[in-house]
Structures are given as structure tokens and as C-alpha cells.
């Protein structure tokens, strides 16, 4: 156990987040997402939601310059409640979040360093975060 570490951040997850470089991506996927078909590194966190996991990851991972977050565009193009929660958890807004068409999103996600599959059952509850530069605390 470590102090100051969000309880959803397992040792395995922290290891992979640490190994990511600048602009590497992590996909936080809903339960419907084909994470195991697309990803080389997949961590399962059943019983969690994507906004919970995004918020936990953001406690240790700075975002890359905009767009630091990609969300999958819903079928009708509306911004869904789960997507609003994902933006809030990531600390982004509509103008700093990129929405990507579903099949294009799969292509972008396939290049991610890591995928974290959650128990989220709401449709379009996926977020791709790009790691920014980790700076010295005084910078």
C-alpha cells in the first residue's frame, strides 16, 4: 500500500503508466469495447466506471497539449452524459476534447500503449488520454 495513490491505481496500472512516454496513449474503455482484440497490453478493472478510472489516472498523468483526450462520437452526434462525465474527470471541455467517429476511434485506439477495460455499461463510455510531459514540481 502507498500513501497518496488513488485506490483504483493498481501496481500493474501504475507500472504501465510510468512506462508510457510523452504522447503515448491510454484507452479507458467501457465493457463493450474490443480492448483484447485491439490492445497488446490490457488491464481489466471490473466494477468500475470509465469516469472513475479517468479521474484516478489523471491524479498521476498530465495530459498532452490539446487534444489530450479523444472520445468516441455517439451515433447521433450528441454529447452524452457519460461523455460529459469523462470530460469532467479528465479536466477538459468541449473545445479541448476531440470527438472521433466510431471506426476511426478503433484505429486510433489500436495504437495506444495501454488499454484499461472497465465495467462501464453505458454506450460510448470510452476515453483515450495522451500523456503529457511530466515536469519537476517547481516548473
Task: Given the residues 16, 22, 32, 136, select the one marked as catalytic.
Answer: 22
Q: Give whole-number Cα distances, 134 to 12, 65, 87, in Å.
A: 19, 12, 21
E strand or H helix at 71, and its extent? strand 69-72
Query: Which 8-state DSSP code applies to residue 27?
Result: E
Total length of the chain = 139
Q: Is the bond into 67 cis (omega within 30 degrees of 0)?
A: yes
**Is 136 tagged catalytic?**
no
Active site residues per annotation? 22
Amino acid at each position: 500500500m502507498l500513501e497518496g495513490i488513488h485506490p483504483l491505481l493498481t501496481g500493474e496500472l501504475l507500472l504501465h503508466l510510468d512506462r508510457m512516454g510523452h504522447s503515448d496513449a491510454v484507452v479507458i474503455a467501457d465493457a463493450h469495447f474490443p480492448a483484447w482484440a485491439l490492445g497488446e497490453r490490457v488491464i481489466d478493472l471490473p466494477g468500475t466506471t470509465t469516469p472513475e478510472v479517468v479521474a484516478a489516472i489523471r491524479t498521476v498523468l498530465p495530459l498532452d497539449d490539446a487534444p489530450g483526450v479523444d472520445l468516441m462520437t455517439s451515433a447521433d452526434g450528441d454529447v452524452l452524459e457519460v461523455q460529459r462525465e469523462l470530460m469532467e474527470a479528465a479536466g477538459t471541455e468541449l473545445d479541448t476534447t476531440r470527438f472521433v467517429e466510431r471506426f476511426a476511434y478503433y484505429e486510433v485506439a489500436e495504437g495506444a500503449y495501454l488499454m484499461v477495460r472497465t465495467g462501464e455499461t453505458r454506450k460510448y463510455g470510452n476515453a483515450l488520454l495522451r500523456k503529457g510531459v511530466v515536469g519537476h514540481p517547481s516548473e
